[in-house]
Amino acid sequence: MNETSLVHGLLKDIQEESKKHGVSSISRIHLRVGSDCPIVPEELASAFRDASEGTMAEGAELNIGMATAKARCDSCDIEFAVDMIPATVFACPQCGGKVGKLVSGKGLEVALVRGKMHPTS
């Protein structure tokens, strides 16, 4: 995966959303990377340091956590954690049904953004 272009897009979106809420500078960003996402956290952090220079997120603390992949059973509708490496079809731990629908664990999500608000006039 190209972490540099991913970070540029992510920073753009975070800054736009932060500005809508009156934030003038970003101090902390928490990201969750799915356990089956092809992102390398160290490369993502390095790309973030470079891409954030000169932006409202320059110097912000970046925390990257891993999120477990989850599937949903088509039969009994429960969600459960899955190990993506050995399996392509998952068996539901409750009813034993075969599951083919992954509901989380393949992407990247912004979990939290902290910043300072614009001073009010």
Q: What is the pLDDT of residues 35-78, one digit of tens each?
A: 777 888 899 999 999 999 999 999 999 999 988 888 888 888 88
Average pLDDT over residues 6-21: 93
Beta bridge partners of 64: 31
Banded model confidence at residue 29, pLDDT cuts 50, 70, 90:
very high
Can you tell me whether residue 55 is helix, strand or coil? coil
105, 32 Cβ separation under 8 angstroms: no
Question: Could you tell me if 8 and 39 lie in one domain?
Answer: yes
The total number of structural domains that make up the chain: 2
How do strand 23-34 and strand 61-67 relate by DSSP bridges? parallel
Question: Could you tell me if 64 and 24 lie in one domain?
Answer: yes
Q: What is the pLDDT of residues 103-112, one digit of tens each?
A: 777 788 888 8
Question: Could you tell me if 61 and 86 lie in one domain?
Answer: no
Question: Which structural domain range is residue 73 located in?
Answer: 69-104
User: Tell me, what DSSP letter sits at residue 78?
Assistant: -
CATH number of 34's domain: 3.30.2320.50
Question: Could you tell me if 18 and 43 lie in one domain?
Answer: yes
Question: Could you tell me if 22 and 56 lie in one domain?
Answer: yes
